[in-house]
Structure 1
Amino acid sequence: MGNLPADVTSFVGRRREVTEVKRLLSTGRLVTLTGTGGVGKTRLALHVAADLQRAFTDGVWLVELAQLRDPALLVHTVAAALKLADLPGSGPAAVLAGQLKGKQLLLVLDNCEHLLDACAVLAETLLRAVPGLRILATSRQTLGVTGEHIEAVPPLSLPDPDTPLPPGAAARYEALRLFAERAAAAVPGFTITADNQTTITWICRRLDGIPLAIELAAVRLRALSPDQLLARLDDGYRLLTTGSRAAPPRQQTLRAAVEWSFDLCSPTERSLWARLSVFAGGFDLEAAEQVCAGDDLPPGAILDLVAQLVDKSILSRVEQDSQVRYELLETIRQYGYERLREQGEHTTYQRRHRDRYARLAARFMAEFFGPGQLAWFTRLRQEHANLRAALDFCLTEPGEAEVALRIAVDLRVYWHATGFLSEGRSWLDRALALAPGVTPARVRALWVDGWLTLIQSGPDHATALLEEAGRVGRRLDDRLVLADTTLASGVAAMYRGDVRLATGLLDDALARYRALDNPLGTAATLIQLPLAAALVGDADRAVALGEELQALSEAHDERWYRATDCGASASRCGGRATGPGRAPWPRRPSGCSVLSTTGSASPAAWRCWRGSRPLTGTTTARPGCSARPRPSGRRPEPRCPGSGRWPATTTSAGTRCAGGSASGRSRPLAGTGPNSTWSKWSPTRWRRSSPPPPRRARTGRCR
């Protein structure tokens, strides 16, 4: 018994959601499915209702509310759907409740968002009067009734487009299955193959996994290839404009679905939606307040408006590590940005967004060498898309390139530590091309560009940039840049195998940084100098310099340099760090955590391992760390006490050191001349260069 429509197309996926909604209906009497337009709330509700028909002796009944505009007609619309007699003009809700008394039925109220108050009052009235009634509602906003259970309907599941799928694996992902089924209906014989799988994945990801958008896109394969379809999705609203003529108007096109949500918002909610469109990849409340507040939207009003946009399924709320962030689906963001452009405010709020993330980058640079490193790396990974958006604005808006230089320079350690070397260099190259002249920002950018190039591609590619930075630095009498270029020259000499020249330059750099009272530069030099000392046979100095770095790190409570130094010290110290009168290196789980979070591996440690290979058996790792030799010159896998995390680039090959004991001999390492393995080694062996976020470093084993 009931009036549910028969399925016209297959129902794809949603196994978890179906199970959860059934569970909620078994324990509660009012369940509301919420979510953005086109996400599949109605289809999910109808599927669950159809499965439950036998559980309700008086039927499962659908009440479609999308076309209803007058709240006064809601009760009459429900009665008509239930095939009940016409209700009197006064007190119709009580009359309806009386007619349903004693019945066991499920009522599906579809699309309640534009009639929220009326639906809430009716639902509460009926539930109080009819014990056998269950209500399953769909709405872009919750009803706000006592006892209401909420199930937020997410987009369909998607694979990572950068990870190749094995044959047949596409069927595991709901978005790809839906696209394949709807595309096969439009183009008989269509299947997802190894050749088109990546393109289809990007199409579905570009459409946020929203079923309505995917179905509209799949139909376009009648006229376009998958590659052509993907290329045209930059203007998705205009491309996805033809849907089922039988569907309600708000579901016939993607734009109509989003416009329906926009029309349901208040003027201030619409303004905030438009302004939030300048964010990329999510934001927190503080960012929204700083960027979006204005005379018409005071900062104190932003919290309530954000909460209202969450309630209306415009914003998604994501909680991680006790912090709440908000996200806009790309289709929602695009629509908001279109409205912002129509109002002529896009440049204003993009500039405010840029300023916000320029300040964030500057704070990172100022605070990085201190106790908050792990939190900073985590935060910048979260804000990576926003940092990109800020840089892109600087490079596309006339006169803003120098700000891009400052942002990219302030992110130097981030580019380095997290493996985004190619991306950092790309931003710097583009900004340098747009910002000629002799300025402090430009000379700093020249050095950072040269430094990242040196780390990634070696000294030959970095020489021109570093020499220009040195010339301009001397012209401007920029003492910090001169210290930085001296450090880089020392590292370049080390790369080339000229260890004595490298030692002199690094000593000079260290003196310059100390004179400037610059702990970050001092630490960067103290990573390199002990290795140079070990390579020329001065193990005592190597140990002393390493201990100085440890003390400096301790004094500032920083983790990254302390952690990256651990592995280099293993190979350079010849066991002397654990001799009589010397305290063993402290165990630093927090440092391991930094390396794990950043996906970083110490360049010094990796170079040290490569250089120390001929001395198998004569070097030692840190107490408690052991490295398993690997065949064919592959890097060892260390073990790190106190944390299961440590990059596989931190100890010398052939070393087994349960207690740090070793022969303690010290002599120049074999193979350190101009034609040695050392001088031929390329830093690209250890550092990933592509823009996508790096995976975590290989983790060690704890014992």
Structure 2
Amino acid sequence: MVTVVTTTISKGRPVSRLPVEVTSFVGRRREVAEVRRVLGAARVVTLTGVGGVGKSRLALRVAAEARPAFRDGVFLVELAGLESPQLLPRALVSALEIRDQSARPPMDTLIERLLDQQILVVLDNCEHLLDECALVAQTMVRSIAGLRILATSRQALGIAGEQVLTVPTLSLPEPDPSGPRAGSVSTHPDAVRLFADRAMAVLPGFTVTESNREVIERICRHLDGIPLGIELAAVRLRSLSIEQLMARLDNRFQLLTAGKRTAMPRQQTLRALIDWSHSLCTEKEQLLWARASVFAGGLDLEAAEAVCSGDGIDRDEVIDLVAGLIDKSVLVRDDRSPAVPTVRYRLLETIRQYGRERLAAMGQEAALRRRHRDYFRGLAAGYRANVFGPSLVTWSARLRAHHANLRRALEYCFADPQEAPTGLAMAADLFHQWAAGAYLGEGCEWLDRGLAAAPEPDEVYARALWSRAWLAIIQADVDSAETMLREAGAIGARLGDESVQAYAALCSGMIRMYRGDPEPAVTCYERAGALHRAVGDHMGLALSLVWTCLARSLRGDSARALSAGERCIALCDTHGERWVRSYAHMALGVESCRHGDTRRAAAYAKESLRFQRTIDDLLGVRFNMEVLVWIAASEGRHERAAVLLGALRTVRRMIDVMPLEYVYVLRHYDDSEARIREALDEAKFEEAVRRGSRLSYDEALAYALEEHASRAGRTASAQPLTRREMEIARLVARGMSNKEIAATLVIAQRTAEGHVEHILTKLGFTSRTQIAVWVTDQER
């Protein structure tokens, strides 16, 4: 299915694409204020400092607090898992949720889409791509007036206008000769406050007292106030007393007391601490730590079992080893992908780099990189096998969550000419993900690399050719697509591969449709359908029937158009498929509208739109809203049609490329706006359009589906939360942890936790992020 599944930079309330804080943010009030002050005056601000000092955490807190100042939102671009400098522009396009459907360089697309935006972009962990980040940042700020960049790096970017702030370690207590003092935790230096906070997380009830204050201060000074070091040390309190912890630090870090402390690089302190944390892991936990470092952007349990087991770790041991590494703060649970039904984990970048060094020292890095590639090669193949059926939505979400790993696996393949055929097969298997998601331009690049490196034109080569041609059609590069399709068809004929010939025919029909000749388009679609049926390709057959329905409708052949659409729906229903089915309903809506049955047309379009809303398929959303404009105009509901036109302006900005056959369909209905203008006077028309353009994306869809009346009629009694629960939900939306909520409301932390659990249960949610989104929607 040719679709673009996307969101875009908001034109309404500011959006936030920042991870939710899973632990409380301690201290740094002065640093936060200083960074915000400098960010208000400078276009590019870079936070530098040693590993583990908290650059990323500080940047994210500043970005969260600064969100109201940026009309179009704040976005995080995580670069730690990105190894190839060439992919930096693509990573930016993806992180900023810009759907790049064109064949242009991604930087051109990026600049064009952000030209009138007021946004803050956080570039996190730039040090390994320093030159590339500097070039991209400089290009963007020179071209986009409303852009601010907040970068984190161990080195400054070195570009004009950059303001560099060195992130200090946390404030430390001075040795106090007057003896012990306790006092409120809030009066202690930040390093002690952080230690106390993290200690309370592992030992409920822990507090700084007169008897332990001096030891805690010594521990914090010993760790030079480095946040990561303090957090790693505090977790040891599960098994050690404060005094034992201090004693072991003394033993481990003798180098810190052997000479002047000021002579020791702080990175050595951090490394020594990680060495110690590593030594406290079991041998198998150490091995899993090293092996998990081959992942980029996180992993789930299934991936860990497949890639990290064997040669000393049994598969059924992995789950317990993962739990052990979570307990030791080596692995971190990552709940930022609520659409993925499995729990994901990630390694902090400093921890991951340490693991990679250990893996290389073991001589296992090459073997693990290959095992990693093999697993994700299999995942891509599994996606292709399940692309038609009830599990497609889940598979797509899983692949989006693993995109950084898929990218790393492809990089592995194309780094070695001998592995290029595997890379080409993998890129071809991911075809629907390239065409349906945010990665169309990147998919073109992987397929181009694979086709250029392929040793011979076999079945995989031919499949990659028609896949690349389809993507070219989406990009309106018709001439290139035709050349590739001729070659793919010839290879298919020579090999006797009917599947390749079928997709070549299907794509050829799309091109003919665009060129205004539906007669030969129907011939191509029906030939494609016959071939797909012969080889048992249900997805190909369903797609052929959708396009046949559209083409026959526009030829005026209603009976055959309806037959094709209904056969497609029957096929989809047999296999539990809903995505292609929604496009069949869309095609039948076009036919019903053309035939004058606007009531049926509206029913088809709305049913299609409802499903496409659930998967964020903006291409389908746009097309169905176009159909609903035609319907409203045909029914004489001109004010509704004008409001929908206003809402469509926002949707059209979200996606500026449509499959060519849809463009042809729209040509037949491009007089709708003129008819609506004629029916309304100019003032009424403009007012209705303005009203539609002010609707948020969700409100626009509710209006298109005519859900707005029932929503407007909801009363306060429909509110599912109690007054107290709503108060707590608002604090969750502000990013507060349970402990911070408890302190704010002067209740026990366990009480706060219970309220949050009740809120999740009542709303049917699984994450705090969903609560935050819900609260924002309610207040709007």
Q: Provide the C-alpha distance between the structure 1 equivalents of 2:616 and 2:648, rounded to a whole number of angstroms.
A: 25
Q: Provide the C-alpha distance between the structure 2 equivalents of 1:472 and 1:696, rounded to a whole number of angstroms.
A: 45
Match of 1:292 among 292, 301, 308: 308
Specify the SS of the correspondent of 2:310: coil
1:630 is aligned to 645
- Is it true that 1:309 corresponds to 2:325 in the alignment? yes
Change beyond 3 A, Cα 1:246–1:469: same
Change beyond 3 A, Cα 1:370–1:490: same
- Is it true that 1:400 corresponds to 2:419 in the alignment? yes
- 1:12 CA drift (Å): 3.0
Specify the SS of the correspondent of 1:281: coil
Could you tell me the TM-score, scaled by structure 2's length? 0.52
2:291 is aligned to 275
Specify the SS of the correspondent of 1:326: strand
Change beyond 3 A, Cα 1:332–1:294: same
Q: Provide the C-alpha distance between the structure 2 equivalents of 1:503 and 1:294, rounded to a whole number of angstroms.
A: 54
- 1:368 CA drift (Å): 1.8
Change beyond 3 A, Cα 1:536–1:587: closer
1:337 is aligned to 356
- The letter for the 2-side match of 1:335 is Y
Q: Provide the C-alpha distance between the structure 2 equivalents of 1:378 and 1:620, rounded to a whole number of angstroms.
A: 41
**1:287-319 C-alpha deviation (Å, 9 max, x unpaired):** 111101122122122222222222222211123
- The letter for the 2-side match of 1:337 is R
- The letter for the 1-side match of 2:505 is T
Specify the SS of the correspondent of 1:557: coil
2:619 is aligned to 601
Aligned residues: 473
Q: Provide the C-alpha distance between the structure 1 equivalents of 2:239 and 2:288, rounded to a whole number of angstroms.
A: 27
Contact 2:630 2:641 in 1 (8 A): no
Specify the SS of the correspondent of 2:262: coil
1:510 is aligned to 529
- 1:53 CA drift (Å): 7.0
Specify the SS of the correspondent of 1:399: helix
Give the root-mean-square deviation of aligned CA atoms: 5.1
Specify the SS of the correspondent of 1:457: coil
2:405 is aligned to 386
- Is it true that 1:444 corresponds to 2:463 in the alignment? yes
Change beyond 3 A, Cα 1:581–1:393: closer
Name stretches of at least 5 consecutive residues in structure 1 with no aligned partner. Answer: 1-7, 15-35, 65-101, 116-135, 149-243, 638-644, 654-665, 673-694
- 1:340 CA drift (Å): 2.0
1:154-303 residue pairs with structure 2 within 5 A?
A: 246=262, 251=267, 255=271, 258-303=274-319
Q: Provide the C-alpha distance between the structure 1 equivalents of 2:600 and 2:590, rounded to a whole number of angstroms.
A: 20
Change beyond 3 A, Cα 1:670–1:440: same
Bigger Rg, which one: 1
- Is it true that 1:328 corresponds to 2:347 in the alignment? yes
Identity %, equivalent residues: 35
- The letter for the 2-side match of 1:429 is D
2:701 is aligned to 700
Return 346-355 or 322-331, whichever deviates more: 322-331
- 1:504 CA drift (Å): 1.3
2:125 is aligned to none
Contact 1:281 1:385 in 2 (8 A): yes
Contact 2:633 2:641 in 1 (8 A): no
- 1:468 CA drift (Å): 0.8
Change beyond 3 A, Cα 1:582–1:54: closer
Specify the SS of the correspondent of 1:354: helix
Contact 1:447 1:465 in 2 (8 A): yes
Q: Which structure's relative contact order is higher, taking Cα pairs within 8 Å and 6+ residues apart?
A: 2
- The answer to which structure has the higher helix fraction is 2
- The letter for the 1-side match of 2:615 is T
Q: Provide the C-alpha distance between the structure 2 equivalents of 1:697 and 1:484, rounded to a whole number of angstroms.
A: 36
Contact 2:451 2:464 in 1 (8 A): yes
2:583 is aligned to 564
- Is it true that 1:109 corresponds to 2:216 in the alignment? yes
Contact 2:170 2:190 in 1 (8 A): no
Contact 1:391 1:404 in 2 (8 A): yes
Q: Provide the C-alpha distance between the structure 2 equivalents of 1:62 and 1:491, rounded to a whole number of angstroms.
A: 63
2:238 is aligned to 144
Q: Provide the C-alpha distance between the structure 1 equivalents of 2:238 and 2:363, rounded to a whole number of angstroms.
A: 36
Contact 2:474 2:658 in 1 (8 A): no
Q: Provide the C-alpha distance between the structure 1 equivalents of 2:583 and 2:431, rounded to a whole number of angstroms.
A: 17
2:248 is aligned to none
Match of 1:552 among 566, 571, 577: 571
Contact 2:171 2:191 in 1 (8 A): no
- 1:261 CA drift (Å): 3.7
Q: Provide the C-alpha distance between the structure 1 equivalents of 2:353 and 2:454, rounded to a whole number of angstroms.
A: 30
- 1:54 CA drift (Å): 7.5
**1:257-301 C-alpha deviation (Å, 9 max, x unpaired):** 544544444433222222111111111111111101122122122
Name stretches of at least 5 consecutive residues in structure 2 with no aligned partner. Answer: 1-26, 34-50, 58-167, 193-208, 223-229, 243-259, 672-695, 708-780
Specify the SS of the correspondent of 2:299: coil
1:417 is aligned to 436
Q: Provide the C-alpha distance between the structure 2 equivalents of 1:516 and 1:401, rounded to a whole number of angstroms.
A: 28
- The letter for the 1-side match of 2:520 is L
Change beyond 3 A, Cα 1:628–1:143: same
Contact 2:585 2:605 in 1 (8 A): no
Change beyond 3 A, Cα 1:256–1:335: same
Contact 1:418 1:600 in 2 (8 A): no
Contact 1:524 1:561 in 2 (8 A): yes
**1:45-99 C-alpha deviation (Å, 9 max, x unpaired):** 969x99x978469x979999xxxxxxxxxxxxxxxxxxxxxxxxxxxxxxxxxxx
Change beyond 3 A, Cα 1:504–1:417: same
Q: Provide the C-alpha distance between the structure 2 equivalents of 1:473 and 1:619, rounded to a whole number of angstroms.
A: 48
